[in-house]
Structure formats: structure tokens, C-alpha cells
Structure 1
């Protein structure tokens, strides 16, 4: 639920507004790759002072998920972060996929490529499909629809309150 409150519902609202007011293509993804343990020491816990999220980086690792922003390690290697992925490793596959997707989008406005078996669809007002980024790319149809409907009801009810 914390991910919904802090990240996902805000993304949902932003996407809805963008789709309403622009014709620009919108693509969304969920990063769902468990980072290799050797990267644990490289990722500080940026949320240690945020109420309710005191140990989110450790929690994400221990529950098999990913913490907010972890995918950036795979896109932007630098002199401080030099993970050894190994050519055929799942980490190398995630890195290849992400770099290819982002590069394609930068060049053409469309992240898709014949290198992938999954087509990453543009969002529309009628569909909220996410690309699930892990070693194998998959598509999440109407991602978190029930949860977003729940938060939408709360948001709309809150807008009606007169304080």
C-alpha cells in the first residue's frame, strides 16, 4: 500500500492528465528485477527518514522486489557503481533490454524493437498496460486496476470535503 500511496497513484493521476491534454505517446513500466546482492552496499537507504518507509531498500530486497529508482543502476553505470553482470547473466539481460528500450524511444519516440517478443503498447484512456521489466519482458494488462480504483474513490471523496 505504501508504494501505491507514494508512487503508483500519483503516476496514475499524472498519466490520466497527460493522456487528456496531449497527444504525445505515454509508456509506463514496472521494474521488477531483484538486484544482485553485491549491489546492496552501493544503494544507500534514501528513505530512512520518511515516515512508514524507514527501511524500504532492505525491505524491497528481502521481499524479492525492487526499491524506487533501482533500475537506474542498469541504465547509468559510472565510476562509483561498477557491478559485474557477466555477459549471459539475468542482470546483463535486464541491462540490455533497458538500454535498447530507452535508446529506441530517444531515437524514434517508440521503445519497441524486433529484438523483443513483447510489444510495449502506448497507454490510452481505456488501457493502463505496463511493461514489466525483468530478465524476461512481459506485459501487465490494466496494471493494478482494482487498487487504482480504490485510491480514485478516496481521492474523489477527499476533493468533496469542505474543511
Structure 2
């Protein structure tokens, strides 16, 4: 790089976000209910060896961002706490695969999105909107299918058409005005810096709720507070 060039990223992304050094425009971010189901596939989970590997190496559920050495006492403690929180006394197995999908969804997507939502709302002069998409399979990027819907139309009354109109309407109004809204859907309130964390649960009947996956996020916040470096 020439000395006179401006770097594309002058700082670490977390630093940029925490100091408001970004283009402060209205922002939407969110997750689907079963994000990791697109990666933890039925084919993988149907194999006994998949679950054996997990149970033989439970520390794989310990986030790298905690900075804990694998095999350390703290890493083992976190692994056991995670297992207890998500599975209780149940075995991590195919029979409890939805719990595993939930854990992986939180690890890979929800914790990061929620941290971003809170930080962004605290350091942006523009509005931040959060959502959870719960329609259908709700796998990774499922909502984008309906933002740019190109599936076969099954008639105006079909559920696919209904959800496409809701999602498409929200994203279109956001692109036009900076405010996501569509007729017949509850007002989508932005996240605020005073600790109000609303999100829109997007389904055939969208509902405004608060504190996305709060119990799970409180668990991870406590883990990071106790074990994070």
C-alpha cells in the first residue's frame, strides 16, 4: 500500500462500531429462527459418528472469542455449562437435534447479531431495526428468498405469496423511506440506546416483541463476563 492511500478498514471492525466510525444510515439486521439448520444438515446429523465427535470433544461449543486455551479448566467449565443450559440432563444426540440447532444458531449468529444491534443503536444517529424470521424452515438467509421472491406463484392466497408481500413490503418501504412498514403489520419500532430492544417477529402474522432470545443471550453475557479475556 502506498503511504498516501486511505485504507479500506482503518481499524478493527469492532473498534469502528464501538466508536461510531461508520456511515450512520438506517440499518436493519436480524436472524432466522433456525439459522444453523442450513449447515447442520439432516444428512450430517443422521450419522452416529457426528454425535460421537461432539460428545468426545464437548469443548467445540466454547467460543474462540473467549480466548480460553482448549483443555484448560475454564474451557472445560464453559463446555459443561453450555451443555447443561441447552440440554439439561438430556444427551446430545439425534433425538435432541433441535436443541443442538438452537445452540449452533446462537453461537454462529444470534450472539453476534445482538451485540451488533446493541452497539449500533448506542453509536448511530440513525435508527436500527432488529428482526427474527420464523416462517417455514427458517434456515439461513430464508428471508432473502422473499425479499427477491422468484418462486412459483401458487395463487394470491398462498402463504408464500402472503409472506413475500409482507417481507417485500417492509424492505421496499425501508429502501424508500428508511422506515420499514407495511399495511396491516404492527409498527416496527427501532432499537434504542436506553435499553429498549424491540424486534419484529416476521411470520404470516408479524408481532412486535422485545429482547430477542433474551434467556439465551443473558446466559452468554454471563459466560463472557465470567470467562472472557
Partner of 2:133: 31
Corresponding residue for 2:227?
A: 158
Tell me, in whole angstroms, the C-alpha distance in 1 between the residues paired with 2:176 and 2:185.
20
Counterpart residue number, 1:21: 123
Q: How far 1:96 moved relative to its partner?
A: 0.4
Classify the secondary structure of the residue corresponding to 2:196: coil
Residue 122 of structure 1 corresponds to which residue in structure 2? 190
In structure 2, the residue matched to 1:142 is 211
SS at match of 2:128: coil
Q: TM-score, normalising length from structure 2? A: 0.52
Distance 1:153 1:92, change over 3 A: same
- Alignment of 1:71 onto 2:113: no
1:8 is aligned to 110
Q: CA offset at residue 17 of structure 1?
A: 1.4
SS at match of 1:27: strand
User: More helix by proportion, 1 or 2?
Assistant: 2
Residue 32 to residue 19, structure 1, CA distance change in 2 (3 Å)? same
Larger Rg: 2
- Structure 2: which 5+ runs fail to align? 1-102
Report if aligned partners of 2:200, 2:207 keep a CA contact under 8 Å in 1: yes
1:39 aligns with: none
Superposition deviation, residue 159 in structure 1 = 2.5
For residues 128 and 101 of structure 1, the distance between their equivalents in structure 2, rounded to whole angstroms, comes to: 19
Is there any run of 5+ residues in structure 1 with no aligned partner, and where?
Answer: 35-60
Aligned to 1:97: 166
**1:157 offset after TM fit, Å?**
2.6
Counterpart Cα distance in 2 of 1:4 and 1:88: 34
The aligned length equals 126
**What is the CA-CA distance between 1:24 and the residue it aligns to?**
1.5
Asked if residue 84 in structure 1 is aligned to residue 153 in structure 2, the reply is yes
- Partner of 1:98: helix, strand, or coil? helix
- Which stretches of structure 1, 4 residues or longer, exceed 4 Å deviation after superposition? none
8 A Cα contact 2:148 2:168, kept in partner: no
For the Cα contact (< 8 Å) 1:32–1:133, is it kept in 2? yes
What is the TM-score of this pair, normalised by structure 1?
Answer: 0.71
Do residues 111 (structure 1) and 180 (structure 2) align? yes
Over the residues paired in the alignment, what is the CA RMSD in angstroms? Answer: 1.6
